[in-house]
C-alpha cells in the first residue's frame, strides 16, 4: 500500500472512530440509574400504586426499571422483575440472574421497547383485549408461532399487587436465547468483552465497529481505484468528450461513498441491538445521500467543463453555463438534503406540504429575491454584457467579473469591487464598450485669429490629408471642418473612426495624430489660440 493510501486509511479510521463514539453517545439510553434518588419532577408526577423498592407498581415503571438494569448489567437486580414461580426455589438464585441476562440480550437483539408507550396505571390497559392482569409489551419472535413479552400483575409476599414479566414468557427465555443469543461468541470471547458496556454498547461491538471501519475503508480504496481506471478507459474509447480529470475528480467522494456502503453492509453481521442498528442505518443512509450530493457536484463541474470546451463558438451557451451550473448544484443540494432528513426521521412530506401551503407568503416575502433571480436570467439570456466586458451603467463604469444568481460583480477603474443586484442592473441603461468594432476620434483645434484666409485653407487641406492617410483611420470617416469663429480663434472640428477596439492602442494613435496636427499648424506659419 502506498504512503498516500496509508495516510487516507489513517484519516478514515480516525474519522470513523470519532463518528462512532459520537453516534453511541447520542443513542445512549437516557434512563435513571437504579437506586438513584428520583428527581422532584418524577416524585410530583409518579402514578399511584404500591410502594415498591423495585418500582413495579405499573407496567411502564416495571419495564423502565428492568431496561435500566439491562443497560447497567445489574442482573442480580433484574431477576426481581421476572416471575420465577415455575422455577424451583433452590435454583432461583442461580437461574434468576441468568434468565435476566438472557432476556436482556434477547430484547436488545430483537425489539426496540419504549416504556413510555405502556400504561402508567396500576391496573394496566383494560382495552388491549387481554385479561385484566396481563399487559402486552412487545413481540419477541414474529412468525407462525409468535412469542410475546407479557407482563402480569401478581401478589407480592406481603399481598400487594405488582407487575412482573409473566412466567410463561420467562419459561421461553432459554429457547429464545438459543436463537437470538451471542452464539459461538459466548464461548470464544472473554466475559468482560460481552458484559462491559460503553454508552450502552458492549465492548466487543465497539471493537467490531472499529475493525469493520478499517476493513471497509481499505476495501473501498481498491474498489475506487478499479472504478476510476475503468472510467478512464471507458472515456478514452467513447465518443463522449469527457476528460480524465473529470473522472479523477470523483475519486474522493466515490471513495467515501463506497466505504459507507461497505460499512452499512457489514453492520448486519455484527448483531447489534435493534435500536443501535436502526439509528446506525439511518445515519449511514443520510450520510450516503450527502456523499451522493458530493458526487453530483463533482459530476456537474465535469459536465460544465465539457460543455464550456464545446461551446467556444456559442456565446449564449457559454454565458448560460455558470448560471446553469449553480442552479444544478443548488437543486442537487436541496434534493439530497431532503432525502438525508427523511432518513434521519424528519417528516419531509409535511415540510414540503407546509412549503406548498405557505408558498404564497414566501413568494410575497421573497419577491425582491425572485426579481434579482429573474434579472440574472435576463442578463444571461439577453446578454447586454458578458463576463470580462467593460461597460458603462448609470454614472459608473467597470468590467464585469461575475453574474450570479442574485447580483452582478464589477471591477471599477479604481480596482474596487462593486456589487449590483441583478434586478437593478438589468433595468439600467448599459453601454457596452467591449463590443464596439471601432473607436471614434474627435477633437477641436482653435486656430489663432491672426491666420490669413490662405493659411486657413492650407491648414484645412493638410489636416485632411494627414487624417485620411493614417493607416489606422477609416478614410471615409475622416472629417475636418471649420465649424465656427471664437473670440480669438477659428474653430476647426476633426473626427474619424480608428481601426481598433483597444483603449491603449487608441490612446497611442490619438497622441500620434495630435502631434502631426500640431506639426501641420507650425509648418504653415500659424499657431493655436490660448485663452
- Which three-class secondary structure state does DSSP give residue 353? helix
The H or E element that residue 162 is part of is: strand 161-165
Cα–Cα dist 286/302, whole Å: 25
The grid cell for 103 is: 432476556
DSSP character at residue 54: T
**Dihedral sign computed on CA atoms, order 414, 416, 417, 421:** negative
Answer whether 0.75 is exceeded by the pTM. Answer: no
Cα–Cα dist 67/56, whole Å: 12
The grid cell for 450 is: 491672426
In DSSP terms, 281 is beta-bridged to none
Angle, CA of 270, 276 and 278, to the nearest 5°: 100
**Dihedral sign computed on CA atoms, order 459, 463, 469, 471:** positive
Under 8 Å between Cβ of 309 and 241:
yes
DSSP string, 365-434: HTHHHHHHHHHHHHHHHH-SS-TT-EEEETTEEEEEEEE-SSEEEEE-TTS-EEEEEHHHHHTS-EEEST
CB atoms within 10 A of CB 230: 11
Chain centroid to CA 230? 28
Query: What phi and psi, each to the nearest 5 degrees, are found at residue 26?
Result: -75, -30
Nearest in space to 516 (alpha carbons), one of 481, 471, 484, 476: 471
Torsion (CA) 397, 403, 406, 410 in degrees, nearest 10: -30
DSSP string, 270-328: TT--HHHHHHHHHHHHHHHHHHHHHHHHHHHHHHHHHHHHHTTT-HHHHHHHHHHHHHH
pLDDT tens per residue across all 531 residues of the chain: 443 433 333 344 334 444 443 434 443 433 333 333 333 433 434 445 678 889 999 999 999 999 999 888 898 999 999 999 888 888 988 999 999 988 988 888 888 888 999 999 998 888 878 888 899 998 887 666 788 899 999 999 888 999 999 999 999 998 888 888 766 565 566 666 666 667 666 777 777 788 888 988 888 888 888 887 777 777 666 655 555 566 666 778 888 888 888 888 887 777 677 777 777 777 888 888 888 888 888 777 777 776 666 655 555 555 566 667 777 777 777 777 777 777 666 666 666 665 555 555 555 555 566 666 667 767 766 778 888 889 999 889 999 988 877 788 999 999 999 988 888 888 888 888 888 888 999 999 999 988 899 999 999 999 999 999 999 999 888 899 999 998 889 999 999 999 998 888 999 999 999 999 999 999 998 999 874
Under 8 Å between Cβ of 473 and 467:
yes
Amino acid at each position: 500500500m502506498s504512503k498516500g493510501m496509508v495516510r487516507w486509511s489513517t484519516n478514515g479510521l480516525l474519522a470513523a472512530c470519532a463518528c462512532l463514539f459520537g453516534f453511541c453517545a447520542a443513542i445512549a439510553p437516557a434512563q435513571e440509574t437504579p437506586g438513584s434518588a428520583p428527581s422532584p419532577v418524577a416524585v410530583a408526577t409518579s402514578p399511584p400504586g404500591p410502594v415498591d423498592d423495585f418500582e413495579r407498581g405499573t407496567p411502564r415503571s416495571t419495564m423502565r426499571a428492568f431496561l435500566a438494569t439491562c443497560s447497567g448489567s445489574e442482573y442480580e437486580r433484574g431477576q426481581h422483575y421476572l416471575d420465577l414461580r415455575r422455577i424451583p426455589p433452590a435454583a432461583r438464585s442461580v437461574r434468576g440472574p441468568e434468565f435476566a441476562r438472557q432476556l436482556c440480550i434477547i430484547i436488545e437483539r430483537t425489539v426496540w421497547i419504549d416504556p413510555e408507550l405502556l400504561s402508567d396505571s396500576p391496573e394496566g390497559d383494560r382495552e388491549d383485549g387481554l385479561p385484566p392482569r396481563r399487559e402486552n409489551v412487545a413481540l419477541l419472535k414474529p412468525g407462525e408461532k409468535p412469542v410475546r413479552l407479557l407482563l402480569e400483575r401478581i401478589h407480592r409476599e406481603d399481598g400487594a399487587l405488582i407487575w412482573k414479566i409473566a412466567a410463561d414468557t420467562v419459561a421461553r427465555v432459554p429457547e429464545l436465547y438459543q436463537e437470538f443469543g451471542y452464539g459461538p461468541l459466548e464461548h470464544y470471547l472473554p466475559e468482560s468483552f460481552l458484559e462491559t458496556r460503553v454508552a450502552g454498547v458492549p465492548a466487543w461491538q465497539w471493537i467490531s465497529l472499529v475493525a469493520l471501519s478499517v476493513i471497509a475503508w481499505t476495501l473501498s480504496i481498491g474498489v475506487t481505484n478499479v472504478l476510476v481506471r475503468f472510467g478512464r478507459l471507458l472515456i478514452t474509447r467513447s465518443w463522449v468528450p469527457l476528460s480524465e480529470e473529470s473522472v479523477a475528480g470523483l475519486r474522493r467522494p466515490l471513495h467515501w461513498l463506497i466505504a459507507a456502503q461497505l460499512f452499512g453492509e457489514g453492520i448486519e453481521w455484527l448483531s447489534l441491538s435493534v435500536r443501535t442498528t436502526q439509528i446506525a442505518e439511518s445515519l449511514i443512509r443520510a450520510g450516503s445521500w450527502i456523499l451522493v450530493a458530493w458526487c453530483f457536484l463533482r459530476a456537474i463541474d465535469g459536465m460544465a467543463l465539457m460543455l464550456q470546451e464545446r461551446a467556444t463558438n456559442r456565446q449564449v451557451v457559454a454565458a448560460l453555463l455558470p448560471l446553469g451550473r449553480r442552479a444544478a448544484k443548488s437543486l442537487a443540494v436541496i434534493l439530497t438534503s431532503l432525502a438525508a432528513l427523511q432518513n434521519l426521521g424528519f417528516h419531509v412530506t409535511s415540510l414540503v406540504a407546509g412549503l406548498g401551503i405557505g408558498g404564497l407568503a414566501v413568494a410575497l416575502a421573497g419577491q425582491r429575491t425572485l426579481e434579482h433571480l429573474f434579472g440574472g436570467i435576463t442578463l444571461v439570456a439577453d446578454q447586454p454584457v458578458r463576463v470580462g466586458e467593460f461597460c458603462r451603467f448609470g454614472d459608473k463604469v467597470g468590467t464585469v467579473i461575475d453574474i450570479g444568481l442574485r447580483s452582478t460583480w464589477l471591477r471599477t477603474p479604481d480596482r474596487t469591487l462593486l456589487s449590483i443586484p441583478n434586478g437593478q442592473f438589468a433595468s439600467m441603461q448599459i453601454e457596452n464598450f467591449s463590443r464596439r468594432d471601432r473607436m471614434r476620434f474627435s477633437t477641436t483645434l482653435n486656430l489663432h485669429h491672426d491666420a490669413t484666409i490662405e493659411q486657413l485653407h492650407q491648414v484645412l487641406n493638410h489636416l485632411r490629408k494627414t487624417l485620411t492617410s493614417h493607416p489606422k483611420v477609416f478614410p471615409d470617416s475622416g472629417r475636418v471642418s471649420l465649424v465656427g469663429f471664437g473670440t480669438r480663434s477659428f474653430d476647426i472640428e476633426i473626427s474619424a473612426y480608428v481601426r481598433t477596439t483597444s483603449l491603449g492602442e487608441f490612446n497611442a494613435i490619438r497622441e500620434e495624430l495630435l502631434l502631426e496636427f500640431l506639426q501641420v499648424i507650425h509648418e504653415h506659419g500659424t499657431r493655436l489660440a490660448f485663452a
